[in-house]
């Protein structure tokens, strides 16, 4: 198992200053995504299920699943999370995350973005991770919006990013847009992690499906 800081360091997706440097001030987007106790209100053991959908021009839609098994952590309010991130040949194997307050699905999803774009463009994964990290640090304040969930309208917050804008190294993906929609009413807070190209050639979405007691 990896603890929170160990997993963040391994995936290289959050501010990690040198020892001699002061800790960076986090943006509102970073606070919402990484420092909010998304899992604290859950009653483990349970499983959070998410639907994955990829739509690409000229191809049939691809559907898959992501599952997070949530168990009580050693400290109050913290959770141990065992992920199954996609299935079959698309499965990505991540270690269990120990002692989390936030939802590590965000870390797994952002890591996958860096890997997929690296494979598609031939660019270094580290470069894509750094661009994502910088975009989160410079992101505008999250936007409040209503969300239809479980038969009711609830308050939600959206973080929108375009981390590769104006970067030729990203090729066609420099116009890729990302949306993260979170709501306290959703178990684990994360409702949607979505990306799309403006021309509609590729769209992907991870969407909360259900919470299942274990």
> What is the pLDDT of the chain when averaged over all its residues?
89
- Look at residue 3 in the predicted model and tell me its pLDDT: 47
Widest CA span of the chain, in angstroms? 51
Peptide bond connecting 45 to the previous residue in cis, omega within 30 degrees of 0 = yes
Note the pTM of the prediction, 2 decimals: 0.89
The answer to whether residue 147 scores a pLDDT higher than 80 is yes
> Hey, is 95 helix, strand or coil?
coil
- Look at residue 20 in the predicted model and tell me its pLDDT: 43
- Look at residue 86 in the predicted model and tell me its pLDDT: 98
- Look at residue 201 in the predicted model and tell me its pLDDT: 86
pLDDT tens by residue, 78-120 = 999 999 999 999 999 999 999 999 999 999 999 999 999 999 9
Q: Looking at residues 176-182, what average pLDDT do you find?
A: 97
Q: Looking at residues 157-182, what average pLDDT do you find?
A: 95
Q: How far is CA 166 from CA 5, 169, 176, in A?
A: 31, 9, 11
The answer to whether residue 160 scores a pLDDT higher than 50 is yes
- 135: nearest Cα among 27, 12, 7: 27
């Amino acid at each position: 198992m990896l603890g929170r800081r160990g997993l963040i360091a391994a995936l290289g997706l959050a501010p990690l200053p040198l020892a001699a440097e002061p800790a960076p001030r986090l943006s509102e987007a970073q606070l919402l995504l990484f420092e909010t106790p998304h899992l604290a209100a859950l009653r483990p053991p349970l499983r959070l299920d998410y639907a994955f959908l990829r739509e690409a021009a000229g191809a049939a839609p691809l559907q898959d699943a992501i599952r997070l098994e949530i168990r009580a952590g050693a400290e109050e309010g913290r959770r141990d999370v065992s992920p199954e991130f996609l299935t079959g040949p698309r499965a990505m194997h991540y270690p269990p995350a120990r002692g989390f307050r936030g939802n590590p699905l965000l870390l797994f999803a952002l890591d996958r973005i860096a890997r997929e774009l690296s494979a598609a463009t031939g660019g270094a994964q580290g470069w894509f991770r750094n661009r994502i990290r910088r975009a989160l640090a410079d992101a505008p304040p999250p936007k409040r919006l209503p969300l239809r969930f479980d038969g009711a309208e609830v308050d939600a917050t959206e973080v929108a990013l375009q981390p590769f804008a104006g970067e030729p190294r990203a090729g066609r993906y420099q116009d890729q847009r990302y949306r993260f929609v979170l709501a306290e009413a959703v178990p684990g807070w994360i409702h949607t992690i979505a990306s799309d190209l403006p021309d509609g050639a590729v769209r992907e979405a991870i969407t909360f499906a259900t919470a299942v007691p274990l």
